[in-house]
Amino acid sequence: MAVTAQRPEFADLLSLETIDRDIFRGSCHDGAPMRAFGGQVAAQAQIAAGRTVEPDRWMHSLHGYFLRPGRTDAPILYLVERIRDGRSFSTRRVSAVQNGETIFSMSASFQRPRDTAEEHQLKAPDVPLPETLRRWWGPIDEAPEYRPFLLIDVRSIPSGAEGAAHRPAFDPALAAADGMPRQNVWVRVDQPLPDDPLLHACALTYLSDLTLASTASLPYGAGPGRVDVVSLDHAMWFHRPFRADDWLLFAQDSPSVGGARGLSRGTFFTRDGQLVASAIQEAGLLRR
């Protein structure tokens, strides 16, 4: 009798084992060879923090620092400190520890949702719909072997993700008059996720780390002596409810590169133009 391989689940990438009160254990897949993918480390740290907070409080912000490269051949311990629980907000600090060293540190804040009359938002850019663009990787069912990134769908605007680089070449026209490199991509988890706001927030952090740092390196990434990027820190703000398994437009720019560091910013919009999250990341730019 033939055995059918079980379809992998994106939620499994963020699953953690409970070791003790406020102590959790996880493992990560490759980002670079033998280096844990930073977006997964940050997302697992969010999961750890969220498990110590009352379920009626949703994560609204996180600030994290990548301190050392994580490895894929050893587990990661997530140690949570309960900094404060107020009437509306809860604050947590998480340390991701591997082989006795802290590889990632994060502060996260949770809020009990509230409705207010005051509201405004940035307008979403006018871009082609994701169905008109080419995806970076094939669907998981068509993959000859399991790769975690096949569980997500990313489509560049304009579609220029060629070869192994998986990102568009720098287009001077996108820099506009202010000189900033820009890139816009549609992203989503390519399978239905459970109705858990924390899981969707963590999934979005995972997705944000795929392209945000590379925005700063777009003008310098082609030809001999190309620039590689290493994430230094990452911050997210979650403004409105959303689903990470629905299409989200990630509009990104880079206001500054200098001192071997590049700053990138991004905003996430739903298909109907709702601004649901913002992200900022600084990366080290390393020339080969």
**Residues forming the active site:** 209, 231, 281
CA separation for the pair 197, 242 (Å, rounded)? 8
Q: How far apart are the first and last CA of the chain?
A: 51
Per the omega criterion (within 30 degrees of 0), is the bond before 158 cis?
A: yes
Amino acid at 117: A
Which alpha helices (H) appear in the chain, and where do they start and end? Answer: 38-50, 172-175, 197-208, 212-217
* Distance of alpha carbon 184 from alpha carbon 173, whole angstroms: 13
β-strand partners of 30:
36
Closest Cα to residue 284, out of 265, 258, 266, 254?
258
Per DSSP, the three-state class of 194 is: coil
H-helix segments, 83-230: 172-175, 197-208, 212-217
The structure tokens listed for 49 are 């923090």
- What residues contact residue 172 under an 8 Å CB cut-off, 6+ apart? none
Which residues, other chains included, contact 81 with Cβ-Cβ below 8 Å and sequence gap of 6+?
22, 92, 93, 94, 95
CA dihedral 185, 193, 28, 267 (to 10 degrees): 30
